[in-house]
Amino acid sequence: MATLYVVSSIAGAGKTMICAGLGRHFLNESKKTGFLKPILAQDGLPEEGADEDALFLKQVLALDEPLDYLCPVFRDGANLENKIREALTKVAAGKDVVIVEGGDKLDSTSLEIAQGLDARAIIIEGYSGGLSPDGLTRKYKDFEKYLLGVVVNKVPVKELPTLKSELLSKAGKAGINILGILPEDRILLSLTVGELAKYTRGEILNDADKSAELVENLMLGAMNVGSGVEYFDLKTGKAAVIRIERPDIQMAALETQTKCLILSGSAEPMPTVLNRARVKGVPIIRVKDDIATIVTRIEAVLGKTRFGQEKKLPQLTQLLERHLDFQAIYQGLGL
Phi-psi region of 262 (alpha: psi -120 to 50; beta: other; left: phi over 0): beta
| Predicted confidence (pLDDT) per residue in 33-79, tens digit | 999 998 876 544 555 555 788 888 999 899 999 998 999 888 766 77
What pLDDT score does 89 carry? Answer: 92
54 vs 165, more confident = 54
For the full predicted model, state whether its pTM sits above 0.95: no
Question: What per-residue confidence (pLDDT) applies to 47?
Answer: 52
3-state secondary structure string across the chain: CEEEEEEECCCCCCHHHHHHHHHHHHHHCCCCEEEECCEECECCECCCCHHHHHHHHHHHCCCCCCHHHHCCEECCCCCHHHHHHHHHHHHHCCCCEEEEECCCCCCHHHHHHHHHHCCEEEEEEECCCCCCHHHHHHHHHHHCCCEEEEEEEEECHHHHHHHHHHHHHHHHHCCCCEEEEEECCHHHHCEEHHHHHHHHCCEECCCHHHCCCEECEEEECCCCHHHHHHHHCCCCCEEEEEECCCHHHHHHHHCCCEEEEEEECCCCCCHHHHHHHHHHCCCEEEECCCHHHHHHHHHHHCCCCCCCCHHHHHHHHHHHHHHECHHHHHHHHCC
Q: Does domain 2-184 have CATH number 3.40.50.300?
A: yes
User: pLDDT digit string (tens) for 190-235?
Assistant: 788 998 999 999 999 999 999 988 888 889 886 555 567 888 998 9
Q: Please report the pLDDT score of residue 283 as a whole number.
A: 97
| Strands 191-192 and 203-204, sheet pairing | unpaired
Q: What is the pLDDT of residue 226?
A: 54
pLDDT at 135: 61
Q: What is the per-residue pLDDT across 279-321, written as a single tens digit (0 to 9) for each?
A: 999 999 999 999 999 999 888 877 656 666 777 888 888 899 9
What would you measure as the largest C-alpha separation in the chain, in angstroms? 69
Separation of alpha carbons 117 and 207, rounded Å: 46
- Kindly report which listed range (128-132, 253-257, 260-264, 329-333) carries the lowest average pLDDT score: 128-132
CA distance 194 to 214: 9
| Among 8, 9, 10, 34, CA closest to 22 | 34
Q: For residues 26 and 161, which has the higher predicted lDDT (pLDDT)?
A: 26
CATH architecture of structural domain 189-301 = 3-Layer(aba) Sandwich (3.40)
Q: pLDDT at position 43, please?
A: 47
Q: What is the mean pLDDT of residues 155-174?
A: 79
Give 225-283 pLDDT, tens digit per residue: 556 788 899 898 899 999 999 999 999 999 999 999 999 998 899 999 999 999 999 99
**Residue 115 burial (CB < 10 Å; 0-12/13-18/19+)?**
middle
Is beta strand 147-155 parallel, antiparallel or unpaired with respect to 178-183?
parallel
Confidence at residue 201, expressed as pLDDT on a 0 to 100 scale:
94
pLDDT for the residue numbered 65: 93
Confidence grade of residue 125 (pLDDT, cut at 50, 70, 90) = confident
CB distance 291 to 264 below 8 Å: yes
Query: Are 36 and 87 contacting, i.e. CB atoms less than 8 angstroms apart?
Result: yes
* β-bridge mates for residue 243, sequence order: 264
What proportion of the chain, given as a percentage, has pLDDT over 90? 45
Domain positions in the chain are: 2-184, 189-301
Q: Do 276 and 251 meet the contact criterion of CB atoms below 8 Å apart?
A: yes
Q: Are 118 and 303 in contact (CB under 8 A)?
A: no
Question: What pLDDT is attached to residue 228?
Answer: 78
pLDDT band at 326; cut points 50, 70, 90: very high
- Other C-beta atoms closer than 10 Å to the C-beta of 70 total 24
